[in-house]
Every structure is written in C-alpha cells, then in structure tokens.
Structure 1
Amino acid sequence: MDFFTAYREGQLAGAYHRVPALLADLAPAELARAGRLLAQLDVNDDEATVIRVAITGHGTLSPLVPSLTAEVARHGLRLRPTVGDFGGYLTELSDPDSAIYRAGAELTLCVLDAEAIFAEVPVPWRPADVRAALDEKLSILDKLASIFEANSKGTLVLNTLPLPHRFTAQLVDHRSRAELGALWREANARLLRFGEQHPGVLVIDLEPLLAEGIPVEDPRLAVYAKMHLSAELLARYAREIGHLARGAAGRTKKCLVLDLDGTVWGGILGEDGHDGIEVAEGHHGEAFRAFQRVVKQIGSQGVLLAVVSKNDLEPVRRALTENPAMTLGENDFVRIIANWQPKHDNLRQLAADLNLGVDAFAFVDDSTLECGLVRDQLPGVAVLPVTGDPALHVGTLLADGWFDVRELTVEDRARVDKYREELSRKDFLDSFDSIEQYLAELGVRVRFAPATEAELPRVSQLTLRTNQFNLTTRRLQLPEVRELAGDPAWHVLAIRSGDRFGENGLVGVVFARRGGNSLHLDNFVLSCRVFSRGIERACLSALLHHARENGITEVFGSYRPTAKNGKVADFYPRYGFTALPEPGEFRHDLGEIVAVPPHVELDFGGALQ
C-alpha cells in the first residue's frame, strides 16, 4: 500500500511508525503533497518525537513547510513549525521576545537569498556596491547570531547565498563579472566560517545542491510572489534540514552494513573467485572502486563498517586480504558475517555483538528481495537498495547523510578501534567461567571529574546519540552544554574509562544540579560500549558519598521512559533510591550508599565544593 492510499483509508493517525517506509520512495513533488497531508494528521505526542523548527528569512518561505514536514517524517519525526512574518528576519532575530524565540525551537532557520543583498544596492550598481552591501549584511548577521546564542538553546541555521545568472549578466564586461563572482564567493566563505565564532550556528552550503542541476529561482514566482528560491531548491534544502532534525533527535546511524556481491564488488565470489570479481579495472570495476573509496572515507570518521553477506567466510576474507586491487580490507570492518542465514537474523546478531540497536544500522544491498525482507523484519534499519548501475551506488549511499554529526570529536575518530577492542573483550569474557572472574581480570579504570572545555563537544554528542542508557533522554546541543557547565549551580561530570585492552575515552556524563542541601541528578548517560562493567555504580557511589561529605542531605533522580531506555528503568531503585509519588522521580536519603565495585579502580575528581 502506498502513502496516499494509507492516508485516505485513515491508517496513519494511529500508526505513525509506518510513515517513514511509505515516504521512502516518493519523488520531491509527491513529498511536498504528502507533507501537506501529514500536517493535517491528528497524531498523539507519544506516537512520534516532535521536532520544533522556527522559520524566518527574507523572501516568501511558506512553500518550505510542506517539504520540511515530509522530510522530518521520513525519519519518524513530527514537525511543529513556527513561521515568521514575510521578510521579518532582522526584527525577529533581534527581538528575544519574538515568536521565533518563544517557539523554543531545536532548529531556527534563517533562509536568505541574493535579493536580500541586491535590494540594498543602488541602480546603476558596480561590484564595489555589492561588496559594501555584503559586508554590511554579514556584520548584521554576526550580531544576530550573537543575540541568538544569548537567548536560545537551539541551533541557528543559515545558508550560503546563491548568485543567479540574472545578476552577473547585468554586467556587460567580463572583468566586472569575475570581480562580482570573486567577492560573492568570498562573502559566502566568510559566512561558512560563522560556526568558528558562533558554536550555536550552522551554515548550509547551497552550492553543492545547485550543482545537482536545481534551479536557483523561478523568474515568475520571484517577481510576483517574492519567492526568491525555487520550490525545487527549497525542497532540497528541506532534506538537509531533515538530516539536522534527525541528529537533534538522536537518530543518527552509527554503523554501515554492506552486502558484498553486486554491492562492494561486481560478480559472484562463489563463482568467480577472489581474483575474478570486479573491484578496480574495467567498466564496472571502476564504479565499485569508487564506491569502496567512499565507504573507506566514511569509515575513517568514526562510522562502524560491517559486512553481512550470503557467502562462506573464508573466501570473503581471502578476497579482502589477497586481492591487490581491493580498496577495502578486512581490517576496515569491525565485524564480517558471511553465512547463509537470513540477513535480518544476522543483523540482529550483529547488533548484539556491537551492543547497538538495529536502528543504528544503515544497510546496503543490491537485492530487492533482501532489502524488502530487512525493511519488513527490521523497520528501524535504514535500507539503501543499490539495484541499478554500480556508478549510482555512491549517490544512494550519500543521499540522506545517515551518519552526519554536528562536529567530529576525538572519540569519533577512534571509535572503530574502540569497538574492535570491545569485540576482543567479548572473546576474553568467553574464556571465564563467571562474570565476576572476567571483571576482576579486565582491570576497569574510571576517571570521574568535571568536564573540561575540550570535552564539551563529546558530552553534547553523548546526549544526542545515546538512547539505551540515557535516563531522561534530554538532548543537549553544544551551546546548552556550555551554559550548564558555566552555571555554578550545575555540575557536568564526565566519565572516562579504560581497561587492560586500552582506553575507551569519554563514555558517559552525569548532569547534576544543587539547590541548598539537595542535589538533583538531571540525567545520567553512558555509552552502550561499556555496559555491565560496574562503571555506573562506581560513579553513582562516588557522587553520593561526595554529596554527603559536602553537606547535602538528599539526592533526587529522574527517569523518563522511552522506547529504548527500558533497561535502565530500575537504575535508581537498584542503588537505594526510593520512588516518589510523582512518576519517574526518586529520592536517596544518603543513609546507606552502595559501594564502589571492588573490580573498579575509581579516580574521582570531586565537584560539589
């Protein structure tokens, strides 16, 4: 059943989880139509995560809303938009009491176009006039960004300014055209660097989108409706915003899982042998090599790579290690599963091995049958069919930015090695008769101390990407984390761990707020990589003891249930907290405090003085 049929028959209001799959294959024009229908859908707040987006800018922007509604729905989210007045961005972003600020949006879009500049240059004009207008506009945007950061905990999203041909063509000499092109690009480069001075700002570069052949504007709509960006460009822009919304909701994918035959290389390994498959030379070989290069590039930035293939394991390993033309090697993958079991079962096993949910996977396969089975059995997996020309594989993989993050951290770049070490720990565990023996020999080390400035980006990322051990699932952008870290009443405590296999890095964070003689644990977050090692118990014990020593008489903790954090529902009661009448609220009287596990070597840096 397609989306429009399901909508007409009233099957979506109570089954919003079906929407992403139904939207997956719709064309942009159909997505906008679907977005208009989704905006009318009566959906309970507990059926889908709401993402609040405020929209302001220079021209007519109302056509952006339907596309944006559909794009966030593609990721299982529901849009709650606030649209500012026509051309009102200067007033709305400079006034902390405007509707744009009152929306409390996770994302605030300030959509700009070339007309915002040329409306302020004289006629006739020269490139120098445009330079002056650009300089003034960038100065204003810089001030607006500062006001925004001081008054909002969300993210301000700007965009580079596309330069339509109708402006350059008004200059009859090529030297002036070149001058205009250069100064325009310089201004966009300055705009792209706004994030270096303003952590609360992101800038979407429209140039790569225009390179796809999308028109900047429709001349008639630009003149008659003051819509200075085309509907096609706004729809493509909406897709980029959908990726940001997915990240803000903690739904970024963490692992790229690949089929092999017809996906990573051409041919059938079992028939062609490791030296007969297409991986570099020849018409299709070049396409597969290009795909492998992109996969390797993605994997170098903290994305886990894995294989799930219907093959025998030894020939796969041979192909990855002995074929000299292969770009990807065995060591690029954290896990290679090659057998003849159903792929959805193998994906479940892979999730267990990596201690991830299957919704952390993006799965690429050239088989329509396999893609359909995985989509049916594991709806949380992002299924990327590559059923056509292998030259199109790269575009399919990159089209939705499944692994996009706001900022790469040191931990991101080391993630593959950390997960490989984790699999070694699992093998080490198998050599012991009991978990107690294993933990005693593992040599767990924990450093628990106030987060440093350099650690704050990783702290923010943990709140955005951690779903299972996240007691309140409060997603915090970097500016919000910085605000809490700078507030004397708050304590942002980072958890680092290591053991005999190496350092795990920054794996957790506790947000605590002191008020008089009480302490409230606003959230406790721990990476799934370090579950079941006593780290959370050690840190909680240290914090409770430290609180008692510093005049605190009671500690409160909150738990907010989600679809994924059920495994920590009993976290506070397990360690001596008593449930309060209000659901999800707990209290500890600091009488009997659980001890630090004997196998954990804890270094606690203090916090509450």
Structure 2
Amino acid sequence: MSVERVAELFRAGRLAAEYPLVRGLLSAADGDGLRRAGHVLERLRPDDVLREHPDTSVLTVAVIGHGTVGTVVPVLTAELARHGLLMRPFLGDFQGYVVELGDPGSDLYAADPDLVLCVLDPAVVFDEVGVPWRVDDVERVLGEKVRLVERLAARFAETARGTLVLNTLPLTSHATAQVTDHRSRARLGAVWRAACSDLLRLGESNPSVVTIDLDPLIAEGIAVTDQRQSLYAGQHLSAELLARYAREIGHLARHLAGLTKKCLVVDLDGTLWGGILGDDGVEGIEVAGGYRGRAFTAFQRTVKQLASHGVLLAAVSKNDLGAVREALDKHPEMTLREDDFVRVIANWRPKHDNLRELAGDLNLSVDSMVFADDSAFECGLVRRELPGVAVVALDEEPALHAARLLADGWFDSRELTVEDRSRPRLYREELVRKDFLDSFASLDDYLTSLDVRVRLEDAADTHVSRISQLTLRTNQFNLTTRRLQPADVQAFAAEPGRRVLAVRTSDRFGENGLTGAIFVRVVGEVLHIDNFLLSCRVFSRGIEQACLLAVLRHASAAGLREVLGTYRPTAKNGKVRDFYTRNGFVSVDGGADGGVDRAADGGVDRAADGRADRAADGGADGAAWFRHDLDEIADPPAHVRLFDGLAVPETGGTAS
C-alpha cells in the first residue's frame, strides 16, 4: 500500500513536494516493492525535489561493471529514498569498467560521482580462462584481475574525490561442479578465496576503496545468478543479489551523507528480557534460562557488541527505576549491566518525551537515535511524534530481535576510530558533567571549575580518518556541513597555502580526544576559514571561541590583511549562524568588493582540483561570508587553557 502511495503521488504531480514522506512509506517495503517504487522514483528529477526541499542530501552514484548492471539502479534509487536521500545516477557501458576507471578523461570522472559502484562477477574470470581449464588457469586469471583492479583503484584515488565500491566474487557451484575431483575443487576454493581476500584488504592501503563482501549476503539464501539472465542478457549476478547489495550501498550512502545513527535506545520488558518486571519480579523475568531466555540473551549480546563499536546505548522503559537497576545489576545471568548504558530511564511518561529529553541530555539530535521496542503502540507513537527517529519494530518472537535490529545497518561507518571505541565512556562522562553543572549557581562558576584545556595543532596523518568522520557525523556545530572522505581531507591539507587544524580537548573529568577541525587556506593577504566543526559533546564551553581567536592571532602575526569565514545554512546548524558575528566578524556581500569571489571562496572547479575544492566549496547553497579585519582581536575566554601548537601560517597561497 505504501508503494502504491508513492505511485499515486507521482501521478498527481506531488511526489517532489511530498518527498520527505517517501522515507516512511518505504521503511517496511520488501524487495519487489522497492523495485516497483524505484521505477517510479527514478523518473523523479532531483532538481524538482531540491527546489521544494533544498536541504535534501543528493548523491551522484555511478554504476559500472563487467556485465549488465543497470537493473540495480531502480532498487538503489529506492534504497537511498528510504533514508531520505536523492540519487543522480550514472550508468556505465556494458563491460566498460576498465576504460571508465582507467581513463581520467572518461565520462565517469566528468560526472564527478560521490560513489562509484564497480560491480564485479565471476564471469570476469571465467570469460578468459578458456576451455578446457584447470585450477592453475583460474589462479592465473584471478591474479591478473586483482592486480588490474588494484591499478584501477589507484588511478581512481589519484583522479576522483568520491568512494570506489568493489565487491568480492561469488564462487558458484556451476564452476566448482566442472572440476570432478575433490582435491582440485578444494584448491579452486582456496585460490578463489585468496583473491577475494586481496580485494577485501584493498581498502587498508587505499582509503578511497570500500569492498562489499557478498558471501554473508549469499549465506542468507540468495541465489548468486540466474543462468538465463546470465547467458541471454549478460547479467551475471541475480536480481535478488543485486537488490540485497543495493541495501548495503544504501547504508554506505547514508553514512557518506552524514546520517549515520549514534544512539540505540531499547525498551526492556519483552525486548531485553522476557516477562513484565513489575509483575514477575527480578527472579521471574526470562534471561538465559529456557529457549526464550536464550533468545533474549542472544539479543543482549548483539546490543553489547554494537556498544563496543561506539554506539551509545540507552534504555527507556515504563517501569520503576529501582526495580530496573536491581534487574540489571543483580540478576546473575544478565549480559547487559547498568554500566553498559549511557543512561537508563524508567518512569511512566510517554516514551517520545523521554527520547526528546535524552537527546537534550546527550546534546544529540533525535534524528541520531534508533528506537527498538516490542510494542506496536509505542513504535507507532514514536514514529508519529518523532519522525526522524529510526524505529525498529520487534514483536513477541525474541529469536528475531537481533536480525531486525541489524537489518538496516543503522550504525555502519567506513572505519572505526579510537574515538569511536571511547564514545560511550565519553558520553557517560558528559552526563556526569551535566550533573556537575546542576550543582553550580552560575554557568561561569561551572566553566571555571571544569578546567577546560584545548590543544590546537596541525592535523597529522593519524588524524585524517577521525577528521573525515567528524565532517560526516557532525551536524550542529558544522559551519558548512561539507562531507569529506579521508582522501578529501588529505588532498586539502596537501594543497599549497592550505591547512587542516585539529582540535583536542580535555577537562577535569578526562580526555575528550580529537573533537574538532578547522579548514583554512591563505589566498594573497587573506586567510579563508572554509569550515569549522566541533563535536556536539564539547561546544558551548568556550572551546570554539578560543580556537577561532587563536586562528585570528596567527593570521595577524603572519602579516595578513583579513580573515574571511564561510557559513552555509542547513536544517541542523542554525545555532551557529551568528558564530562569526559574535566573535568580531562583520557580514559581507559575497563578490561585492572583490574580496570574496568565485575563485577565492573555493568555488567548485573539480576539473582542475576536485578533491581540495570539495572541502573549500563555500560558494554555493546560500553560503554567507563574514570578515574580520584583524585590528582588534578579543581575548580568549578566561576559563579555557589553550595550548597552541601551530606554526605561523605562510603567505602567498593561490586560489583554486
């Protein structure tokens, strides 16, 4: 019914205007429904949606490969729409992936894609081994193909700014059955898996690459190929496998658009354990014992594993807090304990109100939350009141809880950093800070006692992944919300006259880690601040002012004439719209006096310097500019101790 509603909106000419509804309409759509919705959505022009909803994230996605891969485009369009994203597709030529990736002047690179899906299939090998073939022949061709892909990936890293997605090659029974002795079959499997292992490891040496492992998807019972489609149409992977692959790409696209979820909020009764705590007591709830108890324990283990990867874990339950704490801390077979949660909320208030309050306490948007509950009523209420929250509807079958939670990869990211693993601890400390604040009569007294320490330094190579992650995950204190991959950060820092500054913070409660970044470049006598972003955990403590003023002082010491800052408004960064004016800058009209022009603001000329301009694109989407003449630079907040590790910036950089 929801899919039909999408078609109705399109026929009525209202789909662009109502595009935000599509995410909810497709949230529970199955494979066939997504394909049908995709055929409708791919007829919708992204520009029509952007006129109605300019904050909608849009990604250019190129699909190339060895065989016919165009059937993935409709379902991929629908998968992105499920997450509120728009897709501009680019479809490569049949068997054209080598030319398209290998030629810097190809149409692929001209399309400037955010994602390039190079869909590989077993025929890329077996089309070249000849007949008859032996395992040695397969091993030789596999090696040649892996080395070819490595060279193409290196060319992509040198030429493009986006992410190249590869995949492992499924080994089919059709291939193994043509080898009649089991020793040779075993060796074929070994050399095949070794080649796939090389593809999976390619991202370790090339940060532009992500490799999707198809084996876990096939293990779900999906057919690898349809022989008729393979022979007659050159589509060597089945439509079902391509659709499941598209779901994985949807998760990656959501992450690249900065929409990765951060906090998992779970119900307790019927979700983490069986029974009703208030009726059955701590001894009577189902955990570990019995077949249902084992299912609830398996779900708790899954949740604890996610928390170990930096997912914030909270509980919201209609229960008495004392009984909940007793269950979590005293039940001998409980896997999750209260210390595993950043907050446990147990009361009789509406859950959507508790979620709003929790988001405020954690300084997160409710859009960063995933809510899992076995009550259809509670799930429906949260969907209605907080549409930005991802709702995972569970039911009375606990054996399926984990699969339903994991199905949409809500917390997927490209790389796990040290800060990720520390995130739950850091947020628990943040809640201690909030309680500490409540004990003071004034904010000034609190900040003075907090003993805020900031270190501003040039970003090192070891900081690149974390800074990229900040651009992808930070929305509120992010002055331009430019999403950058690690290669984009590296490219910006490598350009003459450009620097990426890292912000590290700590206080009386401990280290906060790398919590911010500033992108700057010198053009003649002007220092441009192309972006400034700070984790929501630490802003509003004077850290942002101290760092900005340090940048101004360095610009003055280098003999520069002025500093220009860029702000690009989005739906979530409105609280920093006056950041520059509150710190001594004045608003300027872009291009009015020649100080801010299309070249000097880092305008997008990707043919010349695509990657660096990805970070410096301050000239579009309603961006505003602010100027500081460096005549009077304010003193930093007295309660912040700044450790300045920056060298005096060099002058004379050139505009892009």
State the TM-score, normalized to the length of structure 2: 0.92
2:127 to 119, 127, 146: 119
Asked if residue 39 in structure 1 is aligned to residue 38 in structure 2, the reply is no
Matched letter for residue 602 of structure 1: L
Could you tell me which residue of structure 2 aligns to residue 543 of structure 1?
Answer: 551
CA contact (8 A) 2:477 2:533 kept: yes
Does 2:112 correspond to 1:104?
A: yes
Is 2:60 the partner of 1:52? yes
Matches within 5 A, 1:494-509: 494-509=502-517
- For residue 21 of structure 1, the aligned residue among 2, 19, 24 is 24
Match of residue 463 from structure 1: 471
2:305 aligns with one of 297, 300, 304: 297
Question: Which secondary structure state, in structure 1, belongs to the residue aligned with residue 315 of structure 2?
Answer: strand
Do structure 1's residue 414 and structure 2's residue 422 form an aligned pair? yes
Specify which of 363, 377, 380 is matched with residue 369 of structure 1: 377
Please show how residues 252-263 of structure 1 align to structure 2 within 5 Å: 252-263=260-271
Q: Which residue is 2:101 aligned to?
A: 93
For residues 378-417 of structure 1, the aligned pairs below 5 Å read 378-417=386-425
Q: Distance in 1 between matches of 2:509 and 2:22?
A: 43
Greater CA drift, 583-592 or 133-142: 583-592
Quote how far apart the aligned CAs of 1:486 are: 2.0
Which amino acid is the alignment partner of residue 374 of structure 1?
V
Q: Does 1:493 align with 2:493?
A: no
Is the CA contact (8 Å cut-off) linking 2:64 and 2:96 kept in structure 1?
yes
The Cα offsets for residues 186-240 of structure 1, whole Å up to 9 and x where unpaired, read as 1111111101111111100000000000000111000000000000000000000
User: Would the aligned equivalents of 1:52 and 1:107 in 2 still touch at CA under 8 Å?
Assistant: yes
Q: What is the aligned partner in structure 2 of residue 64 from structure 1? A: 72
Measure, in 2, the Cα distance between the counterparts of 1:479 and 1:581.
32
- Within 2, Cα distance between the matches of 1:102 and 1:261? 54
Instruction: Map 1:355-366; keep pairs closer than 5 Å.
Output: 355-366=363-374
Q: Which residue does 2:604 correspond to in 1?
A: none
Q: Distance in 2 between matches of 1:47 and 1:369?
A: 31
Match of residue 638, structure 2, among 579, 589, 598: 598
| CA–CA separation in structure 2 for the residues paired with 1:248 and 1:489 | 27
Q: Determine whether 1:480 maps to 2:488.
A: yes
Question: Does the CA-based 8 Å contact 2:6-2:22 persist in structure 1?
Answer: no
Residue of structure 2 aligned with 1:322, choices 315, 330, 333: 330
Q: Secondary structure at the match of 2:533?
A: strand
Deviates more, 1:166-175 or 1:224-233: 166-175
Runs ≥4 residues deviating over 4 A: none
Larger mean Cα displacement after TM superposition, 44-53 or 492-501: 44-53
Q: Per-residue CA shift, 1:373-417, capped at 9, x if unaligned?
A: 001110110000011411000100111110111111111111111
Shift of 1:47: 5.3
- % same residue: 60
Output the CA distance in 1 between the equivalents of 2:401 and 2:59: 31
Alpha-carbon distance between aligned partners in 2 of 1:12 and 1:321, rounded to the nearest angstrom: 51
Contact 1:518-1:556 within 8 A present in 2 as well = yes
CA contact (8 A) 1:304 1:416 kept: yes
Q: Distance in 2 between matches of 1:424 and 1:27?
A: 43
Aligned counterparts of 2:221 and 2:517: Cα–Cα separation in 1: 45
Q: CA deviation at 1:437?
A: 0.6
Residue 315 of structure 2 is aligned to residue 307 of structure 1: yes
> 1:16 and 1:535 mapped to 2: Cα distance?
38
- Tell me which of 264, 267, 273 is aligned to 2:281: 273
Residue by residue over 1:507-548, the C-alpha shift from the partner in whole angstroms, topping out at 9 and shown as x without a partner, is 000000111111100000000000210000000011101100
Aligned to 2:282, what secondary structure does the other structure show? coil
After superposition, the C-alpha distances for 1:132-167 in whole angstroms (9 at most, x for unaligned) are: 000000111111011000001111100000011111
- 1:226 aligned residue (220, 223, 234): 234
Deviation at 1:595, TM superposition (A): 1.5
Structure 1 residue 577 displacement after superposition: 1.1
Alpha-carbon distance in 1 for matches of 2:390, 2:5: 23
**What CA distance in whole angstroms lies between the structure 2 residues aligned with 1:69 and 1:227?**
19
Q: 2:452 aligns with which of 400, 423, 444?
A: 444
Cα contact 1:301–1:412 (8 A) shared by 2:
yes
Amino acid aligned to 2:5 = T
1:36 offset after TM fit, Å?
A: 1.0
Q: Distance in 2 between matches of 1:18 and 1:8?
A: 13
CA distances 1:169-193 after superposition (whole Å, capped 9, x unpaired): 1111111111111110111111111
Q: Give deviations 1:290-338, integer Å, cap 9, x for gaps.
A: 0000100110111100001111100000000000100000000000111
Q: C-alpha distance in 1, partners of 2:155/2:497?
A: 24
1:185 aligns with 2:185: no
Q: What is the DSSP-based 3-state SS (H/G/I as helix, E as strand, rest coil) of the residue aligned with 2:314? A: strand
Distance in 2 of aligned mates of 1:159 and 1:87: 16
Alignment check: 8 A CA contact 1:57 1:89 kept: yes
Secondary structure at the aligned position of 1:96 is classed as coil
Task: State the distance in 2 between where 1:204 and 1:564 align.
Answer: 31
Counterparts of 1:342-353 in structure 2, within 5 Å, are 342-353=350-361
> Offset at 1:242?
0.3
Q: CA RMSD for the aligned pairs?
A: 1.0
Q: CA offset at residue 6 of structure 1?
A: 4.5
Please tell me the residue identity of whatever aligns with 1:21.
G
Query: Separation in 2 of the partners of 1:519 and 1:232?
Result: 52
Unmatched 5+ residue regions in structure 1?
none
Contact 2:6–2:37 (CA<8 Å) still a contact in 1? no
Q: Does residue 589 of structure 2 align to residue 584 of structure 1?
A: no
Q: Do residues 4 (structure 1) and 12 (structure 2) align?
A: no
SS of the counterpart of 2:642? strand
Deviates more, 1:211-220 or 1:483-492: 483-492
- Matched ranges for 1:186-225 at <5 A: 186-225=194-233
- The question of whether the paired residues in 2 share the 8 Å contact of 1:16 and 1:48 is answered with no
Q: Describe the SS at the equivalent of 1:564.
A: coil
Q: Is contact 2:19-2:49 (8 Å) kept? A: no
Instruction: Give 1:25 shift.
Output: 1.1
**Which residue in 1 is equivalent to 2:613?**
none
Q: CA deviation at 1:465?
A: 0.3
**1:6-41 CA distance string (max 9 Å, x none):** 431434321211111100111101101101111122
Match of 2:347 in 1: 339
- The DSSP-based 3-state class of the residue aligned with 2:284 is coil
User: Normalising to structure 1: TM-score of the pair?
Assistant: 0.99
Kept after mapping to 2: 8 A contact 1:457/1:478? yes
Q: Which stretches in structure 2 are left out of the alignment for 5+ residues?
A: 591-622, 651-656
